[in-house]
Structure 1
Amino acid sequence: MTTTSNPDAPFPPSHDVVDNVMLLSTLPNLRTPHFLIPVIDHAAKSARKRLIIVLFSRHFNVQYSQKDPLKKEYLTFPEISSLSRTASWDAVQRLLTFIYVQATKVAYGLNNVLMEIDVLLKGFNEDVDPNIGNSMDICFRVTGDSIATPLPESVKLLRQAYLRPGEREMEPTMSSIGTPNLSGHTLPPTYPVTALGGTFDHLHSGHKILLSMGAYITSKKLIVGMTDDVLLQNKSNKHILQSFPVRKENVRKFLNMFKPDIIADIVPIDDVYGPTGWDPDVQALVVSKETVGGAEAIEKHRAEKNLPPLQPFLIDVISATSASLDHEDVNFLKEHKLGSSYIRQWIVDNNKQVEKEEARLKEETTS
């Protein structure tokens, strides 16, 4: 692949496949960024093992002020540009899902199901991890895009290549929806303590959307209830299941990368409640469509124990029936479901195929 540092250069003519790829892009607003489809496609096809996508927007700016964030006179201009995390919940989960699905579709299409894909959201008033470029082989940028925040030396030292985006829709910038419209929105911008739960086996895009959104609305601590090994004995291909320590470490590493300034409290659970069954400090609960029943049980249990009610937040775009996804993405989710069961079955089938190929080659060499 021809690599260039010229921001006006066309697409590199061919794919130079490397192990680890980084893609950086600025978002003009929180609408679905269809213009990034060809860019993500190229970046994902260039990666063997890992793809990190970092999306920058002033609407992800961090509000550092300890004063009331609703009183804008206390905030700096970059902080005023940020969005209420709870008010932007729907837009951000649609955005994250769109990006993850585009990259995952490419990886699955190349039968590279185990490729690690991470999507990070960064404001212009926060530091990027100085080590984020370590172990990366190339950094893709979007032609014409100027990122309004200093990039760490580990990124600057990478080989740079600019990719032309797809056609941009004619739409207003975030001037109309850039700052939170608080009329009718009564929830606080973030919650100090949020909880969510899951198995998190072979951490995949669906898990990362759930974890990202939980961290997105959390200011201090995210409690992750992780299903203990004892409860996973009836899972399909259980011999492929990762152990609790491995699953815990994978979740911890991801959360530390996505939002390092919050506490990731990852605890084993052997019932539907976990810490939400007794911890009065939890204020919010992130659930998927598949776990809504569990959220209702938690609500009833907390009422019986005279614990404060939890504000629920629903992740609904991962569902294959989501009306917010494009038709192609819906079909992809119907087939693959972004699930651990699919991944474990793929590992089993792939191992069989590898063994079959090795046996064939051995037979040829001995005949």
Structure 2
Amino acid sequence: MGGIKRAVLFAHLPDLEPPHHLGSPISSVVALTRESLVIVFLSHLFRLPQTADSCSDTSQGQQQQLSLNRVHQWDDVQRLLTYVYVKATKAAQDLGKVLLDISIVLKDVSEDFSTDFGNGMDMCFRIHGDPPILHLPESIEALPTVFIIPDRITEARQQRSVPVTASCDASPSSYPVVALGGTFDHLHAGHKILLCMAAWIASSKVIVGVTDDDLLKNKSNKHVLESMTVRMERTRSFLQLFRPDLEYEIVPLRDVCGPTGWDPNIQALVVSMETLPGAAAIDKKRAAESLPPLRTFVIDVISSESEKLDHEDMEMLKQTKLSSTFIREWIVKNQTNTV
């Protein structure tokens, strides 16, 4: 079989707007890649959370070095991730590459890459006209590199975007410990948006509850559902790729609450629209244990009823299947066809 087995695409972003000008390059790289694609977005807007004693006396130049308020950028970042994940996933599904593993990494332009980043990759793609990338590991520097031309018409149209500025208000910019839960079977774009956003607002640790096998006995096509061990390992691997600076605690989830029902160190909870009712149960449990309520963040962009995407992006979302059920059905159908 031809094509590139594992590839990485690097692109610089000037702001947090969905990068429509990169739609064609993303689709092109997806078409060329067989197994795994990592898309790395570079921007000063992705500076890791920092602690600043005071912002009142900093100069304009110094303020640019401060971290942005990640909580304030919640909607912008989930909209950006959703556009790219849906664009790449739809391109893959249209080509029958349902199992293509697509991951997005948000990196500060001055942040170092881990020394093993890029190990096992076969090709590097860059965007023509982008500035040089600092601190690339040797494993990436040694790869064959192809430069792709972005959609300049769409890029020019995006110049109306308003730049994001650093925030110095007193509200939390991030939370030390953030929790979330899910099945995470055949880890797909919907899961990854959820995991990314939990890591986006965390400054120290992310706790992930992964549904225990015993609770999944009624799932459709259960015989191709990944074991809890595999689901936990894949979840950890993805999070460590996305933000290697954080601590990750991946635990079995045997009830609705998991650690959120008793752990006093958790401050924030990330849920999807489908799991939002569980947040109320968690608050009730914590209140019974005399624990403070959690700040709840909802991933609502990937909902078909979302009002945060423009019409064209919403139509693309509606045509894209972000579902473990769909993936299991596809696997079973293709196993049947090959017998």
With over 3 angstroms needed to count, the CA separation of the structure-2 counterparts of 1:296 and 1:179, relative to structure 1, is same
Q: 2:167 aligns with which of 180, 203, 211?
A: 180
Partner of 2:29: 43
With over 3 angstroms needed to count, the CA separation of the structure-2 counterparts of 1:238 and 1:349, relative to structure 1, is same
Contact 2:43 2:107 in 1 (8 A): yes
Q: 1: distance between equivalents of 2:199 and 2:245? A: 10
Partner of 1:227: 211
Q: Deviations over 1:270-292 (max 9, x none)?
A: 11110011011100000110011
Equivalent runs, 1:169-248 vs 2, <5 Å:
169-172=157-160, 176-180=163-167, 182=169, 187-248=171-232
Q: TM-score, normalised by structure 1?
A: 0.86
Give 1:121's aligned amino acid.
L
Q: 2: distance between equivalents of 1:82 and 1:299? A: 30
Q: 2:114 aligns with which of 129, 135, 142?
A: 129
Q: Deviation at 1:75?
A: 11
DSSP-derived class of the 1:80 partner: coil
Q: 1:157 aligns with which of 142, 156, 162?
A: 142
Q: TM-score, normalised by structure 2?
A: 0.93
Q: Does structure 1 residue 269 correspond to structure 2 residue 256?
A: no
Q: Does structure 1 residue 92 correspond to structure 2 residue 77?
A: yes
Give 2:37's aligned amino acid.
L
DSSP-derived class of the 2:85 partner: helix
Give 2:122's aligned amino acid.
D
Q: 2: distance between equivalents of 1:129 and 1:231? A: 37
Contact 1:195 1:282 in 2 (8 A): yes
With over 3 angstroms needed to count, the CA separation of the structure-2 counterparts of 1:145 and 1:336, relative to structure 1, is closer
DSSP-derived class of the 2:24 partner: helix
Give 1:309's aligned amino acid.
P
Q: Deviation at 1:83?
A: 1.6
With over 3 angstroms needed to count, the CA separation of the structure-2 counterparts of 1:339 and 1:246, relative to structure 1, is same
Contact 2:49 2:173 in 1 (8 A): no
- Stretch deviating more after TM superposition (82-91 or 208-217): 82-91
Contact 1:25 1:147 in 2 (8 A): no
Q: Does structure 1 residue 290 correspond to structure 2 residue 274?
A: yes
Q: Deviation at 1:129?
A: 2.1
Contact 2:48 2:108 in 1 (8 A): yes
Partner of 2:262: 278
Identity of aligned residues (%): 47
- Stretch deviating more after TM superposition (325-334 or 20-29): 325-334
DSSP-derived class of the 2:203 partner: strand
Partner of 1:313: 297
With over 3 angstroms needed to count, the CA separation of the structure-2 counterparts of 1:254 and 1:309, relative to structure 1, is same
Partner of 1:106: 91
DSSP-derived class of the 1:197 partner: strand
Q: Deviation at 1:328?
A: 4.9
Q: Deviations over 1:62-99 (max 9, x none)?
A: 244x4437567499948635321111110000001111
With over 3 angstroms needed to count, the CA separation of the structure-2 counterparts of 1:201 and 1:246, relative to structure 1, is same
Contact 1:67 1:74 in 2 (8 A): no
Partner of 2:38: 52
Give 1:256's aligned amino acid.
Q
Give 2:143's aligned amino acid.
L
With over 3 angstroms needed to count, the CA separation of the structure-2 counterparts of 1:264 and 1:274, relative to structure 1, is same
Q: Deviation at 1:136?
A: 1.2
Q: Deviation at 1:178?
A: 2.6
Equivalent runs, 1:314-353 vs 2, <5 Å:
314-353=298-337
Give 1:145's aligned amino acid.
D
DSSP-derived class of the 1:127 partner: coil
Q: 2: distance between equivalents of 1:77 and 1:17? A: 46
Q: Deviation at 1:131?
A: 1.9
Q: 1: distance between equivalents of 2:335 and 2:63? A: 51
For these two proteins, the number of residue pairs brought into alignment is 335
Q: 2: distance between equivalents of 1:353 and 1:36? A: 35
Contact 1:141 1:161 in 2 (8 A): yes
